Amino acid sequence: MHRNFLKTDQLTVAFGGIVALSNVTLSIAEGRTTAILGPNGAGKTTLFNAIAGAVRPTGGRVFFQGADITKASPSRRCHSGIARTFQITQPFSGLSVRENVMVPLAAGGMSMKQAREEASTYIDFVGLNAKAEDPARVLSTGQRKRLELARALSTHPKLLLLDEVTGGVDRPSIPELLNVIRRLREERNITIVVVEHNMEVLLGLADDAFFLNRGEVIVEGSIAEVADHETVRRIYLGDADAAA
Amino acid sequence: MLEVFGRRPYLVLLVMALLLAPVPFLQLNDYIVHVLTLFLIFAVFATGWNITLGLLGLKTLGHHAFFAIGAYASALVSHYFGVSPWITMWLGALIAAVAGIIIGFPILRIRSMPHVAIVTLAFAEIVRLVFANLKDITRGELGFWGIPPFNPIGIGDTAIRFGLGNAAGSFALAAVLFVGVHLILLLLLRGRCGLTFLAIRDAEAAAESLGVRLAAWKLFAFGISAAVVGLSGAVYAHYLMILTPTSVAGPEMLISLLAMIIVGGVGRFFGPIYGALLLTATSELLRDFGDYRMLLYGALIIVFVFIAPAGIAGLKPRLGRKPAEATKPVEAV
Amino acid sequence: MSRLSFPALLSAGLLGAALLGSPAYAQEEISIGAVGPLTGPAANTGKDHRQGLDLAVKDWNEGRGDYVSKNPPKIKFAMEDTSGKPEVAISAAQRLITREGIKMLIGDTLHSHSTLALMELAPQYNLPILSAEPVSSAIADKVLSDEERYKLYWKGNWNSSGYGTAVHDFYKWAFDNKTIDPGSKKIAFVVEDTDYGIANAEKIGELFEGDGWSVTSTETVPPATTDFYPQLSKLREAAPDVVVSVFTVANSGIAFVRQLKEQALETSHLAIYYPTKPEFLEQAADVAEGTYWAALTFSSELNPEHKAFSDRVEAEYGNPGTYSTAHAYCVMQVALRAIDAAGSTDPDAIAEQLKNTDYPCVVGRFKFDKDHAVQSGPDFIPVPVAQIQKGKNQIIWPENVATAKPQ
């Protein structure tokens, strides 16, 4: 097991004068599921974007499997094994569910014919077979989240970044979605980093956790430790209760 | 890709080809054949533009520059160096493609659509001014004349002639161009290319995170799009045999072509064709209304935009789409 | 099929509609067509052309024509819109050819680029074509490049070099009779950065250089410029004896004349085009006194014949006539007389009669040169040079049409 499977070193992201991430140094171990916690605006999505390459850091470095990927484009990071989903889902709405999954397969060099067949594997995995030929724009939010999982999965990721897994998903659909995520780890041994507000969900999903506030890591440890931490309870759970 | 191409795109193209095929043999008067020839040339132009505008989703407003580049490049080379237009038309397309890739580079870095629009619009204006000011070569706004028509093709004893006044031959050439370009684009866009272009259009960040090399694909789209537009410009030049910077790269060309694409259906493969036919044909059919012609023409465009906001090509049974979910989500960073 | 039905049906319908429109042939009258910009930026001028052409046909059909034969044919006239675009001009002309069966085309009435395209139709359809107001020398060059091919094409206006010739000839005349002092024979230009501005500067410069003059500078400015201090300070240094300015926007001209006056340069100034705009004299009369300008081609105030024509247009259409109306009227007269004289609609016979044209009309005498363009100059269509005297325009050259002496 790789202890520093993903590592950020003094990672800083500033947008104009606003510092969204400040000197974040963290390590994520291979094969584990790590939660990133924090109140709104703490910098969780910015951290995700910096790891996935969608945002250029203003300082610091990102290492993946020991290699410095700070300057790599998102597509190169994808090819090296990092995949992500989005806080606000980003389906290719003009394409069918199957075609959505074919996009990464074709980008990976597969022929269209192969990609069309291969897509079924991932669509089945997330349980969208009944919707395979429908345009993505007709899917519900929960289905879109699953579609993003299928797309991400088809890139054969080693590291999967999940942004707000249950955000906007109706309650009855949540268990099915979590089940899919658990299977990712169990059946495919994918290292997962997840941003999630729902502590209940996280306790059943994550091993480790980092707590971010105002762009800095304040608390880290196992998910149970972090969830119980006094500061976390004060800042975050208060915040979450207020939000709920 | 269903909503872009429909269920049987090859069948649609075949039907179009079959409708066009008998036209040169119908002994129609030259006026009608000329209008249909213009329709075919503008349809190819609009289809080419639609690749970046509709399929890639970039608000590029400067494609009339590629039309002008293709037209002038082919016309100048054939005029000054005596090269056959059959060869120079490809050169025109190639030079337009290179220009497309060059203008593609700054656009890669621009995320805001209004800025893409401004940059491409400015590019077209620069191209127009360059052609207007290279007076020693292009004669500027005085007009570049002496453009040779396509060389005649002999079949048995009869020679097919091209250029203004040779209506049937010119139509046949435009029809072959039309069917050929659309066939090649169908083969290309129904595959990996189209899939990737549409993915970039719908969710650029997602596509990139899934391994799509944005820069390469966008430049490729610009190249293809500009090449098609440039090719149509070259055919236009050797057909009309006169070019002025304003008539090919001026704002009127921009507006006519955008209207064709919008009325026909932005982002629908066959949309620009319907738009080109509707606008080219009606602007002529409306001549019977004399002074009210342009008024009716404008009203027609407005009516079509209202009754068919997705364009003529979008006028089909809705695919069980729920209106509430039809809006595209945007990423909040 | 249902999924491709609507668009397919629509396109089939349109195609069908386009195909079924049948030509209407056979009439006893002779059809003449015209194409020009009735919509778009130049629509105002196109409208003037239509009135002029229409009025000439009306006069002809109602017994007021200037006939050649005893039995002049009746004329049917139709004009189509080009929107100022060459490909639409071709559509418009072909529609007239196939639907109206026209025996002669007046076109383009305004645009040179459309004319360059239209003249290709003359050999293709064996159709006499006479353009109205286009001036581009490129058209005449094209005729000379292949006279046999363009034998049916004639250009009803003088070449764009006409201004240059007029300005040169005026100054030569003024130097000869000591109205203006040539000084050290230096000329300078301030012109707008368009073909019109630059071509005029080049032509005038060329003619002056032929007389031993030197061109000190040619300053170009974007159209609609109103700040000329940088250009004027350069002029002050070069100290030219003659300054020629060319702008198509009246505001530029007003600003230029005002700033020239402020700088008090000791030079003779000749303005091209912008003083034809009425607002020039309204706003710059105080500073423009003594300015020479070209060309006062149409003036209801000075020329009773122009006044009479303008009044006729006013009576018929409710707006005064302009140079464009009068010129179009004359072009149609020339066309009608050629058809009348030819005695048939044979294209070669009509072209032959056009070639023989020598006809004095309201804007001047129409006579074609070897390049198929009508000639300009004191003996033909005058390009008169005017001077602003006591806040009013006066023609000072050529002498045969002058209304005042230069001051």
Pairwise CA distance, residues C194 & C248, whole Å = 9
Which contacts of C367-372 are long-range, i.e. CB under 8 A and separated by 24 or more positions? Answer: C368/C154, C368/C155, C370/C144, C371/C140, C371/C141, C371/C143, C371/C144, C371/C155, C371/C159, C372/C140, C372/C143, C372/C150, C372/C153, C372/C154, C372/C155
Share of chain C above pLDDT 90, in %: 61
Pairwise CA distance, residues C96 & C265, whole Å = 55
Instruction: Give how far Cα A225 sits from Cα of A207, A211, A229, A241, Å.
Output: 10, 11, 6, 19
Strand extents, DSSP E, A73-207: 82-84, 159-163, 191-195
Closest by CA position to C151, among listed C370, C335, C344: C370
Q: Are the beta carbons of C121 and C90 closer than 8 angstroms?
A: yes
Q: What is the pLDDT of residue C152?
A: 96
Q: Which pLDDT band, with edges at 50, 70 and 90, does A2 fall under? A: confident
Q: Count of CB atoms within 10 A of residue C307's CB?
A: 15
DSSP reduced 3-state for A82: strand
pLDDT in tens, A130-182: 999 999 999 998 899 999 999 999 999 999 999 988 887 888 888 888 888 88
Pairwise CA distance, residues C266 & C240, whole Å = 8
Among chain C residues, the shortest Cα distance to B10 is held by C4
Partner-chain contact C86 B247, CB within 8 Å? yes
Picking from A83, A102, A137, the nearest residue to B321 by CB comes out as A137
- What's the mean per-residue pLDDT of chain C? 88
* pLDDT average, residue stretch C332-341: 96
* C219 has pLDDT over 50: yes
pLDDT in tens, C73-96: 999 999 999 988 888 899 899 989
pTM, full prediction: 0.84
Q: What is the pLDDT of residue B291?
A: 80
Partner-chain contact B141 C194, CB within 8 Å? yes
Q: What is the pLDDT of residue A237?
A: 62
Does residue B1 lie within any of the structural domains? no
A134 contacts on B by Cβ (under 8 Å): 320
Q: Which residues does B116 contact at the CB level (< 8 Å), separation at least 6?
A: B58, B59, B60, B107, B110
The C-alpha of A227 sits at a distance from chain B's nearest C-alpha, in angstroms, of 26
Single-letter code of the amino acid located at A139: L
Looking up tokens 């391994």 gives B211
Residue B307 contacts A, CB cutoff 8 Å = no
How many domains would you assign to chain A? 1
Q: Which pLDDT band, with edges at 50, 70 and 90, does C27 fall under? A: very low
ipTM given for this complex: 0.89
Give the DSSP per-residue string, A124-159.
HHTT-GGGTTSBGGGS-HHHHHHHHHHHHHTT--SE
Q: Pick C212 or C277 by higher pLDDT.
A: C212
Q: What is the pLDDT of residue C273?
A: 85
Scored b (16 or more CB within 10 A) or e, A95-132 reads bbbbbbbbbbbbbbebeeeebbebbeebbebbbbeebb
Give the pair of three-digit tokens for residue C27: 């009439």
* pLDDT average, residue stretch C14-39: 66
Q: Are the beta carbons of B225 and B44 closer than 8 angstroms?
A: no
B203 contacts on A by Cβ (under 8 Å): 90-93
Pairwise CA distance, residues A98 & A116, whole Å = 7
pLDDT in tens, C358-405: 999 999 999 999 999 999 988 899 889 999 999 899 999 988 888 999
Q: Count of CB atoms within 10 A of residue A180's CB?
A: 18
Q: Which residues does C209 contact at the CB level (< 8 Å), separation at least 6?
A: C215
Q: What is the pLDDT of residue A180?
A: 86
Does residue B280 lie within any of the structural domains? no
* C7 has pLDDT over 80: no
For the ranges A202-211, C21-30, C72-81, C271-280, which has the lowest average pLDDT? C21-30
In this complex, the chains that touch B, judged by 3 or more CB pairs closer than 8 A, are A, C
Using only C-alpha atoms, what is the Rg of chain C?
A: 24
Q: What is the pLDDT of residue B316?
A: 62
Q: What is the pLDDT of residue B158?
A: 85
Partner-chain contact B210 A78, CB within 8 Å? yes
* C281 has pLDDT over 90: no
Q: Which pLDDT band, with edges at 50, 70 and 90, does A239 fall under? A: low
Start-to-end CA span in chain B (Å): 28
Domains (range + CATH), chain C: 25-160+304-367 (3.40.50.2300), 161-299+383-401 (3.40.50.2300)
Phi-psi region of A37 (alpha: psi -120 to 50; beta: other; left: phi over 0): beta
A100 contacts on B by Cβ (under 8 Å): 199
Give the pair of three-digit tokens for residue B94: 């190639």
Give the DSSP per-residue string, C227-245.
--HHHHHHHHHH--SEEEE
Pairwise CA distance, residues B39 & B276, whole Å = 6
How many domains would you assign to chain B? 1
Q: Pick B166 or C346 by higher pLDDT.
A: C346
Q: What is the pLDDT of residue B331?
A: 38
* pLDDT average, residue stretch C190-201: 80
Does residue B111 lie within any of the structural domains? yes
Partner-chain contact B208 A79, CB within 8 Å? no
Does residue A1 lie within any of the structural domains? no
Q: What is the pLDDT of residue C13?
A: 56
Pairwise CA distance, residues A165 & A176, whole Å = 12
Q: Which residues does B174 contact at the CB level (< 8 Å), separation at least 6?
A: B37, B40, B41, B235, B239
Q: Are the beta carbons of B249 and B124 closer than 8 angstroms?
A: yes
Does residue B256 lie within any of the structural domains? no
The C-alpha of B52 sits at a distance from chain C's nearest C-alpha, in angstroms, of 23
pLDDT in tens, C290-314: 999 998 889 888 889 999 999 999 9
Q: Are the beta carbons of B76 and B245 closer than 8 angstroms?
A: no
Task: Give the domain extent around A155.
Answer: 6-243
Pairwise CA distance, residues C117 & B243, whole Å = 9
Asked whether the bond before C398 is cis by omega within 30 degrees of 0, the reply is yes
Residue A53's CATH number? 3.40.50.300
Share of chain C above pLDDT 70, in %: 93
Q: What is the pLDDT of residue B178?
A: 97
Pairwise CA distance, residues B254 & B146, whole Å = 26
Give the pair of three-digit tokens for residue C244: 């020629």
Give the pair of three-digit tokens for residue C346: 């044979």
Strands A59-64 vs A216-222: parallel, antiparallel or unpaired: unpaired
What DSSP designation does C68 have?
S
* pLDDT average, residue stretch C223-234: 90
Q: Which helix (H) or strand (E) holds B283?
A: helix B271-285
φ, ψ at B159 (rounded to 5°): -105, 135
Q: Which residues does C188 contact at the CB level (< 8 Å), separation at least 6?
A: C215, C216, C217, C218, C219, C235, C238, C240, C242, C243, C244
Pairwise CA distance, residues B23 & B171, whole Å = 8
Q: What is the pLDDT of residue B321?
A: 44
Q: C323-342 and C304-317 are packed helices; what angle lies between their axes, rounded to 10 degrees?
A: 90
Q: Are the beta carbons of B271 and C113 closer than 8 angstroms?
A: no
Residue B142, burial from CB neighbour count under 10 angstroms (0-12, 13-18, 19+): buried
* C136 has pLDDT over 90: no
Residue B324 contacts A, CB cutoff 8 Å = no
Does residue A39 lie within any of the structural domains? yes
* pLDDT average, residue stretch A97-113: 94
Partner-chain contact C19 B278, CB within 8 Å? no
Q: What is the pLDDT of residue C221?
A: 85
Q: What is the pLDDT of residue A107?
A: 92
What DSSP designation does C127 have?
-
* pLDDT average, residue stretch C128-142: 90
Pairwise CA distance, residues A197 & A227, whole Å = 12
Closest by CA position to C392, among listed C297, C291, C317: C291
Single-letter code of the amino acid located at B198: L
Among chain C residues, the shortest Cα distance to B290 is held by C80
Task: Give the domain extent around B109.
Answer: 16-250
* pLDDT average, residue stretch A93-98: 94
Single-letter code of the amino acid located at A5: F
Partner-chain contact B252 C83, CB within 8 Å? yes
Q: Taking the C-alpha atoms of C214, C220, C225 and C228 in order, what is their torsion angle to the nearest 10 degrees?
A: -40
What DSSP designation does C84 have?
T
pLDDT tens for chain B, 333 residues: list them. Answer: 888 998 899 999 999 999 999 999 988 888 899 999 999 999 999 999 999 999 999 999 999 999 999 999 999 999 999 999 999 999 999 999 999 999 999 988 888 889 999 999 999 999 999 998 888 899 887 788 889 999 999 888 888 899 887 889 999 999 999 999 999 999 999 999 999 999 999 999 999 999 999 999 999 999 999 999 999 999 999 999 889 888 899 888 999 999 999 999 999 999 999 999 999 998 888 888 878 888 888 898 899 888 888 888 887 654 444 444 444 444 333
Partner-chain contact A151 B203, CB within 8 Å? no
* pLDDT average, residue stretch A87-91: 91
Alpha carbons within 13 A on the beta-carbon side of C330: 27
* C1 has pLDDT over 70: no
Q: Are the beta carbons of C310 and C320 closer than 8 angstroms?
A: yes
Does residue B307 lie within any of the structural domains? no
B1 contacts on A by Cβ (under 8 Å): 94-96, 99
Give the pair of three-digit tokens for residue B135: 């007076």
Pairwise CA distance, residues B248 & B64, whole Å = 7
Partner-chain contact B1 A88, CB within 8 Å? no
Closest by CA position to C55, among listed C335, C326, C338: C326
Pairwise CA distance, residues C337 & C333, whole Å = 6
Pairwise CA distance, residues C109 & C130, whole Å = 9
* C176 has pLDDT over 60: yes
Does residue A56 lie within any of the structural domains? yes
φ, ψ at C77 (rounded to 5°): -125, 135
Partner-chain contact B142 C11, CB within 8 Å? no
